[in-house]
Amino acid sequence: MTFTHAETFTTRPTLQGHFGMTASTHWLATASSQAVLERGGNAFDAAVAGAFVLHVVEPHLNGPGGDMVGIFATADAGSTPQVLMGQGPAPSGALIEHYRALGLESVPGAGALAAAIPAAVDAWLVLLRDHGTFSLAEVLDYAIGYAQDGHPILPGAVRAIRAVAELFQEHWPTSAALWMPEGKVPEPGQIIRNPEYAQVLRELIAAGDGVEGRIAQIEAARTEWKTGRVARSAAEFVKTPHRHSDGGDYAGVITAEDFASHSAGYEHPTSIEFRGQRIAKSGPWGQGPALLQALKILEGYPDEQLDPGTETGAHLILEAQKLALADRDTYYGDVPVNLEHLLSEDYAAQRRAQIGERASAEFRPGDLPGTEKVLPALVDVSEAATGAGAGEPTVSKAGETKGDTCHIDVVDRWGNIVSATPSGGWLQSSPVIEGLGFCLGTRLQMTWLDERSASRLQPGKRPRTTLTPTLVLKDGAPWMALGTPGGDQQDQWQLPMLLRMLIGGHTAQQAIDAPTLHTTSMPGSFWPRAWEPGGAVVEDRLGAEVIEGLRRRGHKLTLAGDWALGRLSCVTRDPQTGQLGAAANARGAQGYAAGR
C-alpha cells in the first residue's frame, strides 16, 4: 500500500549507485567522508574522517569534549551488528550530595558540573583501530584543514553564539575569544578558524611518531587523549568556578584521573522484529529501546491505520510514543533493565489497550515486575524557566540547549555500514578550555539527583543519553542505517520514517521529506526537564484537516512551520544486488548525501 505524502516531488533524489554512499548533517562532512571512500578507504575510515570534520563545522551541535553513539555491521560473512559506545560515565566526584550541597535541585544544563567523561574521540579512534584501514593522519587531515584554514560558519552556529554572547563576554572570556572574533558575533558565512583544536589533533598524530604500525599509532593517540595535555588542561581549567545555567558559579568535578579511567568500546544491540524487518538499537542506557517499544505497540494495528499523514495514524503514533517515553523516563538508565518484559508481546498488548480515541495528558509508565516505579519530577512547561523547543536546536542566554546534535551514515561497496550520532561539547556547553579550542559536554543534565531513580547521578554510571542511531536488517543482513539530531525527538522522527518506508511504499527521500511530528508530553531530557501534558508539535504540511482532527482529539498542538522538524539521513544497501542508496534532509539547507 502507499501512504499519503508519497508525492513524486522530493527536495533531492534518492541517490543510487554501487561504489559508496555518505549522508550527514553537513555537506563538508559528507564530502570529506566521500573523499575517503574515493581514495580506497572503507566506511569506517570515512565515518571517522567525517565525524572529526563535524567537530569543526558544527561546533554548536557537537564537539570533541562530548559523546557519540554508533551502530554498525561489517561486510564479513556472518557479521552481527554492534553498538559503538561513546557515552562517557559520570566522573568520580559527581556525587548527588555534592550537587545538593551547592543548593542544586537538578544538574545544570550548561557549565562543567554537567560534564560526563568525554568519550567521543576515544570511540572514533577505537572504531578506526579495529575496523578501519587508513592511518590516523589520513583521516584527521580533513578536520585539521578546516580547523586551521577555516570554514564558513553556519547560520545556526551564529544564532547560538548570538544567544550566549552576553554570557561569553561577561563570564566565559575564553569562549568569547574563540567564537566572537574582534569582540563581535560573526556573520553567517564568515570564515572561522580554530587553530588550537587543529594543534590538539596534530598532537594525537604526533603521539605515534616512532611507533611501528597503524594500530599501535592509534593506541598512542588514545593514550595521549586520555592522559596528555587535553586531560590535564581540562581538569585544571574547571577548578575555577564559572557561571552555570542556573545563574550560580561553581567549579567542575572532573579530574585528569577521570579522563584516564574510561575506555570506549562495543556492546550488543537491542532489537525486535517489525513487519519482517529487524530494528537494532542501543541498550537502555540510551533511549533506543523506546523506539522499539513504540513499534511493538503499533505492530498490533493494521497497516492502513499507521499512515503518519492521516489523523488516525498521527494520533496512534503520538499516543504510542507517550507510553514508550513514560517507560523510558521511569525505568531506563545505566542499570539492569528488564527489556524482555518491556519488549514482550503481552506487555505491548497491555500498553496498546491504554490508547483511546482521545489524547492522553497523563504520564503513564507501565508496571515492570520486580522494579520500583520511581517517577521523574514532572515540571509543567508553563512553570519552567525555559519552554519546550519545537524540535530544532534552541539555545538560551544561559547556554542550555535542546534539540542539538549531528549525524552521519556511511556504506561502502564491500557492505560495511555505519550510522552514528555525535553530540555534546557544544560551544555553548561550558567555557572553552584554554589552549584546546573546545569545551566539555553537559550530558549529566540527563541524570536525576534522586538516589532511587534508575537514571540517577552516580560516579561511573552513564547518563541516559538521547543519542540513538538505527540499523535495519532483513533476513539477517543490514540494509539501512539511519538517524537524526533532535534530542528527545530523535526516535520520534525516525518512527514515521520507518513506517513510511517499511509499510507505506515511500522511498528514503520521500520518507525524509514527508511532514513529521512529535510529542512533548514527557519530561524533557534537557534542563530544566519540563513537560507539556498532552502537547505535540507538527509541521503545517501535515494538512489542516489532519491538524484539526488531532485538536478535536485533545492534542495541544504547536505548529512548527512547513519545513521545521527533523534532520534525518540514511544510507541503504540491497544485500542481494549490492545496490547502494542514500538520502538526506533538506530542512535547514545544510545536510547532504553523496555517492556513486
Q: pLDDT tens digits for 490-508?
A: 999 999 999 999 999 999 9
CA distance 262 to 553: 48
What confidence tens digit (pLDDT) does each residue in 239-270 have?
Answer: 999 999 999 999 999 999 999 999 999 999 99
528 located within any domain: yes
Average pLDDT over residues 435-463: 96
557-584 pLDDT per residue, tens? 999 999 999 999 999 999 999 999 999 9
Residue 322 predicted with pLDDT over 60: yes
Across 29-54, average pLDDT? 98
Residue 589's pLDDT is what?
87
The answer to whether residues 26 and 536 touch, using CB atoms and an 8 Å cutoff, is: no
Q: Which residues lie below 8 Å from residue 27, measured CB to CB, with a gap of 6+?
A: 590, 591, 592
Give per-residue pLDDT as tens, 478-489: 999 999 999 999
Q: How far apart are CA 561 and CA 549, in angstroms?
A: 18
Q: Confirm if 589 and 583 have CB atoms less than 8 A apart.
A: no
Asked if the structure places residue 318 within a domain, the reply is no
Is there a domain that residue 60 lies in?
Answer: yes
Q: Please tell me the pTM assigned to this model.
A: 0.96
pLDDT of amino acid 8: 76
As a whole number, the mean pLDDT across the chain is 94
- Least Cα distance to 581 among 5, 11, 23 occurs for 23
Q: At 10, list the grid cell.
A: 522530493
- pLDDT for res 397: 55
pLDDT of residue 29: 98
Rounded CA-CA distance 109/90 in Å is: 15
How many Cβ atoms from other residues are within 10 Å of residue 323's Cβ?
A: 24
> CA-CA distances (angstroms) from residue 273 to 276, 470, 490, 502?
6, 13, 20, 12
Residue 436 in domain? yes
Does residue 503 lie within any of the structural domains? yes
- Residue 402 pLDDT > 60, yes or no? no
* Residue 382 in this model has a pLDDT that exceeds 80: no
Partner residues linked to 67 by β-bridges: 423
pLDDT value, residue 395: 52
Q: Within a domain: residue 483?
A: yes
The answer as to whether 501 is a domain residue is yes
Contacts of 309 (CB under 8 A, 6+ apart): 3, 4, 5, 514, 515, 542, 543, 546
- Confidence band of 79 (pLDDT split at 50, 70, 90): confident
- Give me the CATH number covering residue 92: 3.60.20.40
**In the predicted structure, residue 38 carries a pLDDT above the cut 70:** yes
Q: Which residue has the cell 603521539?
A: 207
Closest CA to 164 of 143, 140, 185: 185
DSSP state of 267: E
Q: In terms of Cα–Cα distance, which of 206, 89, 150 is closest to 455?
A: 89
Q: What is the mean pLDDT of residues 470-482?
A: 97
Joined grid coordinates for residue 223: 593514550
Return the ∠ at Cα 461 (arms to 455 and 463), rounded to 5°: 50
Read off the C-alpha cell for 551: 485538536
Q: How many domains does one find in the chain?
A: 1
291-305, 410-424, 525-539: the lowest-pLDDT one? 525-539
pLDDT by residue (tens digit) across 347-375? 999 999 999 999 999 999 999 999 999 99
> Going along 484-589, which residue ranges are E strands?
517-519, 530-531, 535-538, 556-559, 569-573, 580-584
Q: Residue 529's domain spans which residues?
A: 15-268+381-535+561-595
Beginning with the edge strand found earlier in the chain, give each strand of the sheet holding 15-17 in spatial order.
Answer: 15-17, 580-584, 569-573, 477-483, 470-474, 277-281, 270-274
Please list the residues that pair with 593 across neighbouring strands. 23
Give residue-wise pLDDT tens across range 283-297. 999 999 999 999 999
Residue-by-residue DSSP string for 385-438: SSPPP-SS-EE-TT--EES----EEEEETTS-EEEEEEE---TTTSPPPTTTS-
Residue 289 included in any domain = no
d(CA 562, CA 547): 13
